Chains A and B, each alone.
Chain A
Amino acid sequence: GAGVSQSPSNKVTEKGKDVELRCDPISGHTALYWYRQSLGQGLEFLIYFQGNSAPDKSGLPSDRFSAERTGGSVSTLTIQRTQQEDSAVYLCASSLLAVLGEQFFGPGTRLTVL
């Protein structure tokens, strides 16, 4: 079956521009997570959506980062006024039910800020 999909796979942008990254979770999965993977920092949690509950934004590194999830399915991570330190691979994961724990990851979006 279809897994988690993310687009674009690669994004190159100039410092100061805004970017939007998209995640399509596995159909029927109610929980959706965004992580960031960078050299030296490993995999870091950013934000988590569970059903219609308020998202857990505790991992967002600054107010330049935001995310939304429309209709309980597709999610968009937006980074405003990108900085070079935002360069990383942004990974999305989904889970059938958050309480089950296991999360399935998409291929990621590689963001390069010049």
Chain B
Amino acid sequence: QKEVEQDPGPLSVPEGAIVSLNCTYSNSAFQYFMWYRQYSRKGPELLMYTYSSGNKEDGRFTAQVDKSSKYISLFIRDSQPSDSATYLCASNNAGNMLTFGGGTRLMVKP
């Protein structure tokens, strides 16, 4: 079993929909949780960064971490075709390498 699990998708939604992306993790030592967006043939771009449990909002994006259930979520409101990309969740303990989920491919149809 991988330390961070993520449904690969693809997830296809109509423009304007609310998107929910999820990951689970197994390592209790993880303290930092990140979501990256990766467009085809580009490097991952940091979207959201949270420490420990709780919610964080940035524009149309909301990240949630529930350490009790080891569950990480990213919500995208009013999704746009430009949001079509692969979304990667990642976690680490301070100073250590990131452990990534396999990525979820999202397609937002106009």
Once A42-B102, A43-B88, A108-B43 are accepted as A-B contacts, the answer to whether A48 and B32 lie under 8 Å apart by CB is no
Please name all residues of chain B whose beta carbon is closer than 8 Å to the beta carbon of A82 when the two chains form the complex. Answer: none
Is A76 positioned at the interface, with any CB of B under 8 Å from its CB?
no
Question: Which residue in B45, B92, B95 is a CB contact (below 8 Å) of A50?
Answer: B95
For residue B10, give the distance in angstroms from its CB to the closest CB of chain A: 15
**What count of chain A residues pass the 8 Å CB interface test?**
25
Chain B's interface size range is 20 to 34
Interface residues of B in 29-47 (CB under 8 A from A): 31-32, 34, 36, 41-46
Once A42-B100, A101-B32, A102-B49 are accepted as A-B contacts, the answer to whether A107 and B43 lie under 8 Å apart by CB is yes
Please name all residues of chain A whose beta carbon is closer than 8 Å to the beta carbon of B41 when the two chains form the complex. Answer: 110
Residues 5-44 of chain B: 1 if any A CB is under 8 Å from the residue's CB, otherwise 0? 0000000000000000000000000011010100001111
Interface residues of B in 76-109 (CB under 8 A from A): 88, 90, 92, 94-103
**A48 adjacent to B49 (CB under 8 Å):** no
Q: Which residues of A contact B (CB under 8 A)?
A: 4, 31, 33, 35, 42-43, 45, 48, 50, 56, 59, 91, 93, 98-108, 110
